[in-house]
Structure 1
């Protein structure tokens, strides 16, 4: 990959996009294209086509998405489906239409069936019903994956899809109404520590989850960009650590790092979500990529970023 390639990062201010931007800059890529949402609404087809026609990117990294935790997904399935479908349709089609040489599409492990054999292999896609609480988001991401694969097969496009496990890290969303589990735990334990209060958590803590530090995902994306073609991976490739932990164990780890000494109360009237989501990462490992950051190290880095950016997060 030429270091002067014109690389467009869609969603460069989000959790994943900001990490990808940092990684590309560290690797010496100097021709990076970005747009904020106010500058380019990716749900608007004409605006996206005008952007691609004028900017002519060589590479597209599609990180832009509407994302959220169980509560946000369950309350607004239509929004999650529509917005993510429109972003994918517009960006992927314009990438084909205007001759983009390489596209990396970011999905999510929630594309796989709720009751999936563990660890989850890429070929388990569409082998059973999805988790209902995030079905809208998952269907949009499955559509994007299929779209990339069809363009690769029928048009010869170098478009590939990566399916990361649960992500966390600096620039995460810590809003308690819409965040994912790990940043929500960090904020809950921090605020309870300040108030000398107990922490109430959803479910019973029994579900297993795998967590990937976002800088490791950024490293994987650059690896895929530089080394991997559709023929190497098929429809998609899982990105993760290959290790999981119960939510109860995770809560205890976060509490220790934050220094929380109170009680944890589990509200079993609330949903647990999918019982287990552990990705089989043998495909990406066989290509030569492995995650590097331990969960403890990643939580410590994320908590420090949370503390350092407290004013921006809580206002």
Structure 2
């Protein structure tokens, strides 16, 4: 048995944190202790509270998930706020982790960090090649700066600060808010209500935008693999393959199948589609972890619909 790892997961009660918890509990490792930090435990925009949380738990490793997040329209309304809040959180967590002697920090980025004008598929070498899409530039630039800080903290070779770039995550414990949430949980909530109330589904936008979706259960397993095995400074994309990219229209159809919803679909084309596509390559992941198998998307969506229906009263919405 090796030296005990105390792994602090910031944002531990959210979608990805719950996925990590499920993965860690399903396949526990004797020398790993996980602590799931929530916003009730510490305000990570406050350096003193951040440091107090680290002093209390004395982590050797950190999985940094905490962030101010929102869907397309939430970002468009408050880009500056998203930038400032996330810069505070990220600087506090990473600098305190370094100050306290944490050996490894794995931070969660997003495919929105990649340039808006680019070639496809995007890969890990392209993060800083141009400005991100205007719709969420504040959040995107704040996340990019994690990569910059990782380079700085790793410059003396004494620690490993790295990051992962998941594509669109969905699953149990997501934020199903219809105004501020992301597209998949929004569709899951909408279609639940449409089936309940016998009303047509209104999809925002044309439905033509393309996305790669990753199930939070799968992402949790991959986070643990990164924590234990991936030691590069450069980020690694965690995603299904390019051929598994689907349109928002197809996502809506799959959610409808998950609920056995047979009603009408209406597309509100006055709403923005956002970035048309941001196809990511998972070539690096498949080279390093070729045996990993993703959950089929129809199964993952149906399981998430079932979870939301069973937990409707307590789900974030």
TM-score (norm 2): 0.93
Instruction: Decide which of 302, 305, 311 is 2:304's aligned counterpart.
Output: 302
Residues of 2 paired with 1:265 and 1:32: CA distance? Answer: 45
CA shift for structure 1 position 167: 0.2
Aligned to 2:258: 257
Closer, same or farther: CA 76–62 of 1 in aligned 2, 3 Å: same
After TM superposition, the structure 1 stretch with the greater mean CA deviation from structure 2, 159-168 or 280-289, is 280-289
Task: State the match for 1:237 in structure 2.
Answer: 236
- Corresponding residue of 1:6: 6
- Contact 2:204–2:272 (8 Å) recurs in 1: yes
- Deviation of residue 155 (structure 1)? 5.1
Selected match of 1:100 from 102, 106, 114: 102
Deviations 1:50-84 (A, max 9, x none): 32234321110001111111011111212211221
Write out per-residue CA displacement over residues 150-181 of structure 1, whole angstroms, 9 at most, x where no aligned residue: 21124532111101000000001111011110
3-state SS of 2:285 partner: helix
Distance in 2, Cα, partners of 1:7 & 1:286: 26
Alignment of 1:27-46 (within 5 A): 27-29=27-29, 31-46=33-48
Structure 2, unmatched stretches of 5+, are none
Greater displacement, 150-159 / 78-87: 150-159
Task: Quote the residue 2:269 is aligned against.
Answer: 268
SS at match of 1:277: coil
Match of residue 145 from structure 1: 147
**In 2: Cα distance, 1:4 partner to 1:161 partner:** 22
Runs of 5+ unmatched residues, structure 1: none
Contact kept, 8 Å, 1:17 with 1:64, in 2: the verdict is: no
| DSSP 3-state at the match of 1:87 | helix
Cα-Cα RMSD: 1.7
User: Where does residue 61 of structure 2 map in the other structure?
Assistant: 59
Q: Which residue of 1 aligns with 2:80?
A: 78
Conserved 8 A contact 1:241-1:291: no
| Higher mean C-alpha deviation, range 260-269 or range 176-185 | 260-269
Q: Deviations along 1:194-239, whole A, 9 cap, x unmatched?
A: 2221111111111110000011111111101111112xxx421111
Q: 2:93 corresponds to which residue?
A: 91
Matches within 5 A, 1:197-212: 197-212=199-214
Matched residue SS, 2:163: strand
> In structure 1, what is the Cα distance between the partners aligned to 2:121 and 2:216?
21
Q: Provide the residue aligned with 2:180 in structure 1.
A: 178
